[in-house]
Amino acid sequence: MTTLTKAQYEECKKAFLSLEERAIYLNHYQLARETEIENPALWKAFLTDPRTVDYIQSEMSLIRTAAINDIIQQAPNSRSVGQAQLINSLLKLEEASSTKEGPTFIYCYVPLNEEQKHAPNVQLVHADGSPLEDGEEIIEKEPKENENADPEEWNLNTKFISRT
């Protein structure tokens, strides 16, 4: 797959934006035919770049919202069941596409074993992240009956953070 340089990305972006809303519906082969950049591989790299993907998704969301609003505005004058089904389908599509995807982070408390507790790169801290002061003891409590409970509900007084 072709990797875009910054200059190539900017050149593709300029050509893409010059086509206005029509560009959103074109594939890399069509873009190569309709612009001065005649390399479909370059257009494919541009279209799959995360910045371009985000831009196209946001544009499509705006277009869908406008189409839904237009159909809803015309709905009182229509007795079409198909139009109601179209509105429902578009609303479901809009709802599904409005959530951002990305990495999911799961935070959990994992007690260290004895060797890890005494490692030089481990710092003992309270649950809020503040360091233990001299003389404070480590008190570990087990989670409440529901092991899937939110760690905030575990009533842990301290936790360990490993630093390398």
- 96-133 pLDDT, tens digit per residue, is 665 556 666 655 566 778 888 778 877 777 667 777 77
Please tell me what DSSP assigns to residue 4: P
Domain boundary among 48, 66, 97: 97
The confidence score (pLDDT) of residue 97 equals 61
108 found inside a domain: no
| Coil, strand or helix at 161 | strand
The confidence score (pLDDT) of residue 142 equals 56
The confidence score (pLDDT) of residue 114 equals 82
- Residue matched to tokens 């007690």: 111
The confidence score (pLDDT) of residue 4 equals 87
Round to whole Å and give the CA distance between 56 and 48.
10
Instruction: Write out the residue range of the structural domain in which residue 131 sits.
Output: 114-162
Residue ranges of the chain with pLDDT lower than 50? 154-164
10 found inside a domain: yes
The confidence score (pLDDT) of residue 155 equals 46
The confidence score (pLDDT) of residue 158 equals 43
Residue type, 159: K
Same domain, 85 and 157: no
Domain count, the chain: 2
Same domain, 90 and 19: yes
Same domain, 29 and 89: yes
Using an 8 Å Cβ cutoff, are 78 and 67 in contact?
no
Using an 8 Å Cβ cutoff, are 90 and 68 in contact?
yes
The confidence score (pLDDT) of residue 164 equals 38
Domain boundary among 97, 124, 144: 97
Same domain, 60 and 138: no
Using an 8 Å Cβ cutoff, are 116 and 162 in contact?
yes
